[in-house]
Structure 1
Amino acid sequence: MTILRHGDRGQDVRTLQNRLNDRLKAGLDATGLFDDATEAAVRTFQRGAGLVDDGIVGTKTQAALTGVGTTLLLGAGNLAAAAQRLGLPLATVYAVNEVESAGAGFLANGKPKILFERHQMYRQLCTPRSPDDDAAELKRHADELVALSPSLINPTPGGYAGGTAEHQRLAQARMIDDTAALESTSWGAFQIMGYHATRLGYESVQDFAAAMASGEPAQFDAFVRFIEADPALLKALKARKWADFAKSYNGPAYARNLYDVKLERAYARHTEAMGEKAA
């Protein structure tokens, strides 16, 4: 499904304008150009539908335009609450959500987006969890499991299946060790790893996984907790040092993927759209 945004042209934009006219009586000229008036109408529709009013027509907005429900989806109120909680301009939170989220936190079948990491499973199985644990014995057992299930437990990354098949991999791994498997999975729109669960204030990784399956607002809350737990991340956001934030959050490949540039541009666009609210 094509993502539409300001400046785009073509038949998809014309179809969007006609749908907005039908749903909102927006009075748009169906020119096929995603202009300022079209973006304003998109934001109005998104607010009314309980979505994040970012002016970008992605899969969630397109689905809502056809009547699909938005109960599990992230809304503008969630972002406003996060901005207040973190002490950040609203435009900063909108920019980070736009650039750092995976677009949607759930698959078409209603399950949360996940990615199971077999190398993390190996690491978690090797990690002592109590004073009585013998690190050498844990490693020996993990190595035995590598020989039996290399696609699920392995010192090297890989074995990804993608989409719903990742849930099958996770289910198999949970039969080996439930906690280690959940810890070795990244969850939701922001792909927060399960091994962060207790550090972020969840009672257990099982509690964290249940929250990630409850809706995008809970997934976004985990992302906010992640920022709160890392003073350097929050400091970079408050100073709008996009490269510092992107390097810390996305890793050394941030520059190649232009995360800092995307964040800066998104912030500027949302600041202009919000006016005084982003000051």
Structure 2
Amino acid sequence: MILRKGDTGDEVALLQRRLTRAGFPTPETHVFDHATESAVMAFQKACGLVIDGVVGNKTLAAQLAGFAMSEHLTDADLANAAHTLGVPIAAIRAVNEVESRGEGFLPDGRPVILFERHVFYKRLKARGFDVDALAAKYPNIVSPTAGGYMGKAAEYTRLAIAERIDADAAHESASWGAFQIMGYHWQALEYSSVADFVARMQRSEGDHLDAFVRFIAADTALLSALKARKWAAFSKGYNGPDYARNLYDVKLARAYERYADMTTPAAPTKAAA
């Protein structure tokens, strides 16, 4: 894939997001304009690449390598989350292992999402759209029932169609990042807008964990369950009534015990005593 000045589309928008995250702020216009070319050239200069303003394989590889170093969770992130919520770090490690869905980002640098067509149906209906007409035209995007999932990068294809109907409602109707926090929670979690929430989700897994911490802190029942290590109650509140089918509570309990053992000092031997 090669991108250069004059190109347009979602790949250009993704490039612009990557440049911004790499420290070269670029407006997300979907157009490879002069500002984007200038940012690409500045990035290439910083990386010691040929400075031509054209995004080829070497420039793309340099971007992805930089993101791999900066976007993943660190021990400091986990420790800060445990301190903020007032729980043992073993509890946060357990939740991170079981409840986060693996990597928070796709290989192309975009945050993992899952678009929920039934949520989009409700958000559009509240905005006064003729949702039944839209459901007839876009059954995989607008529907009173859940489903239509395509998974991984293909979820962005669904999101792009939804964005053309109503961008804010579309972003509110997807779950984002490693911990799959729904976009419509943005206000309750004290983000300034859904656009602010999405921008944070595009930045790092540390931001994904921060959204999770805000989500738990805003729900007293979930926070109490986590503090007491009542894994069934926590799993039901976080995953819904189907939690038992996937053994989330059992997995959390086992993970917590394993991490707690790792952080508990060994008892002294008789000889040492």
Same fold, TM exceeding 0.5?
yes
Between the aligned partners of 1:104 and 1:69, the Cα distance in structure 2 is: 11
Between the aligned partners of 1:271 and 1:222, the Cα distance in structure 2 is: 24
After superposition, what is the alpha-carbon deviation per residue over 1:42-98, rounded to whole angstroms, capped at 9, x for unaligned?
Answer: xxxxxxxxxxxxxxxxxxxxxxxx999421101100010011111111111111111
The residue type equivalent to 1:123 in the other structure is K
The Cα of 1:170 is off from its aligned counterpart by: 0.5
Normalised to the residue count of structure 2, the TM-score between the two structures is: 0.71
Give yes or no for the alignment of 1:268 onto 2:257.
Answer: yes
Provide the secondary structure at the position in 2 that maps to 1:92: helix
Which residue in the other structure is 2:221 paired with?
Answer: 232
Q: State which of 238, 243, 246 in structure 2 corresponds to 1:249.
A: 238
Paired residues, what number? 201
* CA pair 210-67 structure 1, distance change in 2 beyond 3 A: closer
Between the aligned partners of 1:145 and 1:271, the Cα distance in structure 2 is: 50
Q: Compare 98-107 and 150-159 and name the one that shifted more.
A: 150-159
Between the aligned partners of 1:228 and 1:175, the Cα distance in structure 2 is: 34
Which residue in the other structure is 2:94 paired with?
Answer: 95
Which residue in the other structure is 1:79 paired with?
Answer: 78
Task: Within 5 Å, give how 1:116-155 maps onto structure 2.
Answer: 116-128=115-127, 138=128, 141-155=130-144
Which residue in the other structure is 2:186 paired with?
Answer: 197
After superposition, what is the alpha-carbon deviation per residue over 1:130-159, rounded to whole angstroms, capped at 9, x for unaligned?
Answer: xxxxxxxx26x1112112222211111121
Which residue in the other structure is 1:181 paired with?
Answer: 170
Which residue in the other structure is 2:199 paired with?
Answer: 210
Structure 1: gaps of 5 or more residues: 1-65, 129-137
Which residue in the other structure is 2:9 paired with?
Answer: none
Which residue in the other structure is 2:106 paired with?
Answer: 107
* CA pair 185-69 structure 1, distance change in 2 beyond 3 A: closer
Between the aligned partners of 1:187 and 1:211, the Cα distance in structure 2 is: 10
Provide the secondary structure at the position in 2 that maps to 1:112: coil
Between the aligned partners of 1:160 and 1:240, the Cα distance in structure 2 is: 32
Provide the secondary structure at the position in 1 that maps to 2:260: helix
Between the aligned partners of 1:116 and 1:174, the Cα distance in structure 2 is: 11
After superposition, what is the alpha-carbon deviation per residue over 1:166-200, rounded to whole angstroms, capped at 9, x for unaligned?
Answer: 11111111010011100100101111111111110
* CA pair 67-143 structure 1, distance change in 2 beyond 3 A: closer
Between the aligned partners of 2:134 and 2:234, the Cα distance in structure 1 is: 37
Which residue in the other structure is 1:223 paired with?
Answer: 212
The residue type equivalent to 1:212 in the other structure is M
The residue type equivalent to 1:98 in the other structure is E
Between the aligned partners of 2:168 and 2:97, the Cα distance in structure 1 is: 31
Normalised to the residue count of structure 1, the TM-score between the two structures is: 0.69
The residue type equivalent to 2:169 in the other structure is A
Q: Compare 80-89 and 159-168 and name the one that shifted more.
A: 159-168
The residue type equivalent to 1:149 in the other structure is Y
Provide the secondary structure at the position in 2 that maps to 1:104: coil
The residue type equivalent to 2:117 in the other structure is R
Instruction: Provide the alpha-carbon RMSD of the alignment.
Output: 1.7
Which residue in the other structure is 2:41 paired with?
Answer: none
Between the aligned partners of 1:264 and 1:105, the Cα distance in structure 2 is: 23
Structure 2: gaps of 5 or more residues: 1-64, 266-273
Between the aligned partners of 2:79 and 2:208, the Cα distance in structure 1 is: 15
Provide the secondary structure at the position in 1 that maps to 2:175: strand
The Cα of 1:254 is off from its aligned counterpart by: 1.1
The residue type equivalent to 1:159 in the other structure is G
The residue type equivalent to 1:190 in the other structure is F
Between the aligned partners of 1:96 and 1:158, the Cα distance in structure 2 is: 26
Between the aligned partners of 2:68 and 2:224, the Cα distance in structure 1 is: 37
